[in-house]
Structure 1
Amino acid sequence: MSATKTLRAAALATIFFIASAPISRPMAFERLEQKSSIPGAALWDEQAWNDFYSLSQGSRLIPWDWIKALKQADGQPFLADGLVRYGYLANPESATPGLPVGFVVADGVLGPTCSACHTRQIEVEGKSYRIDGGPALADIGTLWADLDTAVSKILGEPTAFLEFAKAVLGSGYDPQKEVKLRAEAELWYARHHAITDKGLPKDKPWGAGRIDAVGMILNRVTGLDIGPGPTHLIVENIRKADAPVRPPFLWNAPRQDHTQWPGFADNGDRILAMARNVGQVYGVFGEFFPEKDASHLLGFNYVKANSVDFKGLIDLERLVERIGPPKWPWPVDMTLAAQGKLIYERPYEEGGCADCHGIDRGQPRLLNPDTWCTPVQDVGTDAREYQYFAPDWKVDTGALTGAFIPFVSQPLDRKDAPVSVLATAVRGAILQHFIPVTVNALERKKADVALAILQPLIEELKGVYKIPGTPGAGRWACRRAPETEGKIKYEARVLEGIWAAAPYLHNASAPSLAELLKPPQSRVADFKVGPAYDISTVGLAVEQPKSTFLMKTDCNRGSGVSHCGHDYGTALSDGEKRALLEYLKTL
């Protein structure tokens, strides 16, 4: 093998790793059978489920000893119910007792992992069904705000802080350690409160099953990570994250050739998957404090104080590659479903679905020539998320001013687009982690050779977090999908397992597939969000005994909660709609 191929192989081998061994665990729910997603690949076993629930990705929400000592507003321990009150799912098998699915303690710090937002449980006739990879109905926004309130209380009341300090420090308590702990808590609070106060919408909370991931990723990277120490804040970079969306389902996610609801990130191989995942870690409490450093290949140090757990992300992505869509567990009228299949395959002008949602070849990637096309189209749905790509929104680039990636990007200006800052932060961290080359005058030629050899891999990162509307960002052009004329475009995913992903539309504004087939003006204006599931309407049941959130919608395209748009199939007859719904259960 040539030196070039050897170096490339070594770089790639670092990225791909997984191990599995079956274990046996009791379950208080029925876990739905998965369909095979990749020919010949093993479906998830209990070891895979356990790993998905517990592998760290590097999120750093709050020190574990702190949250154990914090109190709710009523005086109960903050962790009294294991965070179930926020919609997270109990996990009796957690390595850390009391934590729900998707929360893990790593290096003494609590943080969420993928399964916190991507594990669904539904209830039908008193029975619970677990859907791994499905969109969670958790309320991370309220958790975020309640932590802010709890820490504010102890900092504002000396007696409360003394009680907190004694609980955290235990037998090692002394007044000097209390002073140090208070300084640490004040630093944590300064950062957490800045993004809570300026980032979380107070008038229209996200609610259950929705999170403004893009808004908070941009806020955290530009507002919390690139300013001067010790806080690293640039508060003026933070804006209200008021465009919450439903977390997507994970099955088939690695195959899409675009990702993020507006389709502004290339996807489809493991390099781009790492970029996708590093970005989301930044958004859910990852820490990233870059600094200029001429001794590093890229002129900046992107990993010195970066909390991303790259090995954990590799293992989690390999799990996601294996997960298949869930099988519908109830009877299906196969005669009616066969009629629905014919409707599904009609042209979209006649109410069909496959032109936009069928499986079609996508954009080949360097390490995967067989992606699935993700058409990105304007179908009249809510436009709020596009505020983050407005050409007049620029942020102070702080510690990343002048940063660029060879072969990929231009240096960041002092004021630049937040998406460009995010792309640089993600690319730089990945390249420095997997190509840990330091340079000096004698090693410059060696470094240049390394860059030249790895140029094809580096160029693959060009598609990371592009601004919609720029060349190559959000391709619509599949062989089957029609092009649309508007500019507010969102991805149209393959619909395997779509029955398990309610509520619908990217902003979770339609409770069921039956509701989505109604003309927009006839769709419900509000509905309760909870685990109760209706197998006839294929989505959320009207009655939700466990719901604490009423989703209020409108038909204002810029509101963030518009239920209008996507009026395909709305002119079908009632019989045709029943047939189509029956077929969608089989996907």
Structure 2
Amino acid sequence: MIAKNSLRASLTMRLAGLALLALAAANPSSAAELKYADQGARWTPPDRDDFYSLDQGARIMPFSWFKALRHPDGKHFVDDGLTRYGYLPNPNSPAPGLPVGFLAASDNGARFLSMTCSACHTRQIDVNGVSWRIDGGPALSDFQTLLADIDTAFQTLLTDQAAFNAFAKEVLGGDPNESALRKLRSDVEVWFQPYDVLMRKSLPKPGWGVARADAVSMIFNRVAGLDIGTTSSRIIEQNIALADAPVRYPFLWNAAIQDMTQWPGFAENGDDILGLARNVGEVYGVFGVYRPTPLISVLPQLARFNSSSQLPKLINFLNDSSLNYPGLMRLETLIQQIGPPKWPWALNQELVAKGDEIFHRDPKQGGCAKGCHEIAKGTPRLCNVNTWKTPLQDVGTDSREYKVLVREADTGVLNGAAIPFVPGIDTPLKPKDKIISILGLSVIGSIIEAPLHFGIDVFKPIVEQCIPESRVARADTAATLISAKLSADLKNLYRKPTAAQPSIVFESRVMQGIWAAAPYLHNGSVPTLADLLKKPADRPAAFKVGPAYDIENVGLAKEQGSFSSTYNADDCSKRDSGNSRCGHDFGTSLSDPEKKALLEYLKSL
């Protein structure tokens, strides 16, 4: 028995070694020594594990399907832990083999492949044989290729009987009978129809590349294109547009206290209620179930509001919803705990001091802080009076994202819908309306309805922090109280630019941890901070995007490993291309010694 156990242990160790070698081959950075950046005492390993695999409500597909899904090369998608797309190993994943930000979520006895925000907001950079993990950092992953490869894999299953049979055996087990095969094929076809429509009409060529995604377009396309149609499929295909305004993923540290968020600064932010709105919109964009349904009769809980015959069309926003409210609120708590990463290498303190003086000059003299990147008091919110001001400015950077914000769409089942007694959200919706208004109504309606749908206890964190009166409120009035407070904070959630005057402004964030956030500008068009201090015409017209890092120039190294993509940047004649490296001329006239000092200071933040 001892010999058998020893042999078994030896074989297990060899297999584990082979698996690690396979991962290293797929993603060279995984072969390096892994270290975690110092992100403050409030950020602990248990918090990190929670952040990496927290269910917020995304439901991409049945997990058994994903485990059985194969690439054209015959390998399962899960074989390399998605490292071929730049996603990062998660050794403590509850579902072994899934990377950071992916999980097998349980829902009514079924398991689904799900995503959480850490998939797009965790990064790893490689410096001198060490991989530095930075939680909350902008991901260096290729999301579009993953989405497109899933689409291709399912097309193969539905056109190649042998491939489908092999898939079915893995999903169903054993040798499934004809009835089971037909049922599985029908389920796959029903799932695939909206997914395929979304991918065919959304994904641009060339693709977004590593470290970028057009998340706003994908959220708009998902909600307006797949969720609100009046037919049984829910699809309104004409509401889906090409997602060709990709931007760099933002970093999450300090995001919770900004008074505005999203690169164009169109969403109010700064407390738990607005953070919940931010995260609900994100879940809808990554395949959360959203099936808004008109109410034939008013919900009993709302009967006291029904004194007027002029009520707008009422909607059950949470019909068949997969939103995980406890998970979303826990996620916001975690985001508040992630500190900016500290520079892990030596600093020249004399240069840091000189750079500090330059940073705090007026921007007209090459400075960064005043009116732009300083820590300044922002707009007070219901649950947080101490927000940080997030200035919105037009500094000549790429403008394409504004074409997304002025899009209009058919409103489907939401035509005529509004939320009673919540002014300021541009409702009731017209038959054709701004997509940003469709999303605003969907997000706000989903949140305000939540206390009635899930119960008041779900909102305890917000209730205790923001609404002290609720501690003494009777149960029959608590939902009304919470809804009223939510309404006050949410009614002006989104700023809506017009086609005539889009006001092409983007947010100026506080610069803590900026050294770890390359590439730079909102569209990721500049590889290093050193390049950002050059005139736009002198910035690289093409560069590789990947995990190899240059700590002297602070950003992406010129040479990358096998996992990378090439960014071809346009000049100022193509400001609306989505790829322009134009704008943000601040600091470009500094002397070389001044630029060196400023870079040293930016490393220290």
User: What TM bracket, shorter-length normalisation?
Assistant: 0.7 to 0.9
For residues 289-316 of structure 1, give each alpha carbon's deviation from its aligned partner in whole angstroms, at most 9, with x where no partner exists: 1001133348211112111111111111
Q: Which has the higher mean CA deviation after the structures are superposed, 303-312 or 267-276?
A: 303-312
Shift of 1:487: 2.2
> 2: CA distance between counterparts of 1:468 and 1:586?
37
Query: 2:604 is paired with a residue of what secondary structure?
Result: coil
> 1: CA distance between counterparts of 2:507 and 2:249?
13
Is contact 1:257-1:362 (8 Å) kept? yes
> 1: CA distance between counterparts of 2:321 and 2:361?
49
> 2: CA distance between counterparts of 1:449 and 1:49?
34
Is contact 1:437-1:447 (8 Å) kept? no
For residues 346-393 of structure 1, give each alpha carbon's deviation from its aligned partner in whole angstroms, at most 9, with x where no partner exists: 001111000100000000011111100000110000001000123xx3
> 2: CA distance between counterparts of 1:185 and 1:457?
39
Is contact 1:378-1:486 (8 Å) kept? no
2:416 maps to 402
1:567 maps to 585
Query: 2:235 is paired with a residue of what secondary structure?
Result: coil
> 2: CA distance between counterparts of 1:113 and 1:429?
19
Confirm whether residue 353 of structure 1 aligns to residue 353 of structure 2.
no
Query: 1:220 is paired with a residue of what secondary structure?
Result: helix
1:64 maps to 63
Shift of 1:453: 7.3
Evaluate the alpha carbon distance shift between residue 183 and residue 447 of structure 1 in structure 2; reply closer, same or farther with a 3 A threshold.
Answer: farther
> 1: CA distance between counterparts of 2:481 and 2:126?
55
1:441 maps to none
Alignment of 1:235-254 (within 5 A): 235-254=237-256
Evaluate the alpha carbon distance shift between residue 131 and residue 448 of structure 1 in structure 2; reply closer, same or farther with a 3 A threshold.
Answer: closer
For residues 235-260 of structure 1, give each alpha carbon's deviation from its aligned partner in whole angstroms, at most 9, with x where no partner exists: 11000010011110000000100000
Is contact 1:135-1:248 (8 Å) kept? yes
Is contact 1:552-1:561 (8 Å) kept? yes
Alignment of 1:141-290 (within 5 A): 141-171=144-174, 173-201=176-204, 203-290=205-292
Structure 2 spans left out of the alignment, 5+ residues: 1-31, 303-312, 456-474
Shift of 1:414: 1.0
For residues 473-518 of structure 1, give each alpha carbon's deviation from its aligned partner in whole angstroms, at most 9, with x where no partner exists: xxxxxxxxxxxx9921000000000001000000000001000000
- Which of 486, 490, 506 matches 1:461? 490
Confirm whether residue 340 of structure 1 aligns to residue 355 of structure 2.
yes
Shift of 1:437: 9.6
Aligned length: 531
1:31 maps to 36
Confirm whether residue 551 of structure 1 aligns to residue 563 of structure 2.
no
Is contact 1:122-1:531 (8 Å) kept? yes
2:527 maps to 511
> 1: CA distance between counterparts of 2:254 and 2:498?
25
Alignment of 1:107-146 (within 5 A): 107=106, 108-146=111-149
1:11 maps to none
Q: TM-score scaled to structure 2, two decimals?
A: 0.85
> 2: CA distance between counterparts of 1:449 and 1:44?
34
Query: 1:463 is paired with a residue of what secondary structure?
Result: coil
Confirm whether residue 433 of structure 1 aligns to residue 433 of structure 2.
no
Is contact 2:451-2:479 (8 Å) kept? no
> 1: CA distance between counterparts of 2:502 and 2:344?
39
Is contact 1:528-1:547 (8 Å) kept? no
Amino acid at match of 1:414: P
Evaluate the alpha carbon distance shift between residue 237 and residue 84 of structure 1 in structure 2; reply closer, same or farther with a 3 A threshold.
Answer: same
Percent identical across equivalent pairs?
52
> 2: CA distance between counterparts of 1:376 and 1:180?
53
Shift of 1:407: 2.0
Evaluate the alpha carbon distance shift between residue 469 and residue 413 of structure 1 in structure 2; reply closer, same or farther with a 3 A threshold.
Answer: closer
1:502 maps to 518
Shift of 1:172: 7.4
Amino acid at match of 2:439: L
Is contact 1:420-1:466 (8 Å) kept? no
Is contact 1:422-1:465 (8 Å) kept? no
> 2: CA distance between counterparts of 1:402 and 1:437?
26
Confirm whether residue 300 of structure 1 aligns to residue 334 of structure 2.
no
Shift of 1:61: 1.4
Q: TM-score scaled to structure 1, two decimals?
A: 0.88
2:547 maps to 531
Identify, as 1 or 2, the structure richer in helix: 2
Amino acid at match of 2:98: L
Query: 1:167 is paired with a residue of what secondary structure?
Result: helix
Evaluate the alpha carbon distance shift between residue 72 and residue 449 of structure 1 in structure 2; reply closer, same or farther with a 3 A threshold.
Answer: closer
Shift of 1:450: 5.8
> 2: CA distance between counterparts of 1:110 and 1:47?
22
Query: 1:570 is paired with a residue of what secondary structure?
Result: coil
Shift of 1:434: 2.1
Q: Which has the higher mean CA deviation after the structures are superposed, 92-101 or 261-270?
A: 92-101
Is contact 2:448-2:486 (8 Å) kept? no
Q: For the aligned residues, what is the CA RMSD? A: 2.0
1:88 maps to 87
> 2: CA distance between counterparts of 1:121 and 1:369?
34
Query: 2:512 is paired with a residue of what secondary structure?
Result: coil
Structure 1 spans left out of the alignment, 5+ residues: 1-26, 36-41, 439-445, 471-484
Is contact 1:531-1:546 (8 Å) kept? no
Is contact 2:141-2:211 (8 Å) kept? yes
Evaluate the alpha carbon distance shift between residue 351 and residue 187 of structure 1 in structure 2; reply closer, same or farther with a 3 A threshold.
Answer: same
Evaluate the alpha carbon distance shift between residue 532 and residue 234 of structure 1 in structure 2; reply closer, same or farther with a 3 A threshold.
Answer: same
Query: 2:225 is paired with a residue of what secondary structure?
Result: helix
Confirm whether residue 97 of structure 1 aligns to residue 100 of structure 2.
no
Amino acid at match of 2:259: D
For residues 197-217 of structure 1, give each alpha carbon's deviation from its aligned partner in whole angstroms, at most 9, with x where no partner exists: 00111x220111001010000
For residues 265-288 of structure 1, give each alpha carbon's deviation from its aligned partner in whole angstroms, at most 9, with x where no partner exists: 000011000000000111112120
Amino acid at match of 2:596: R
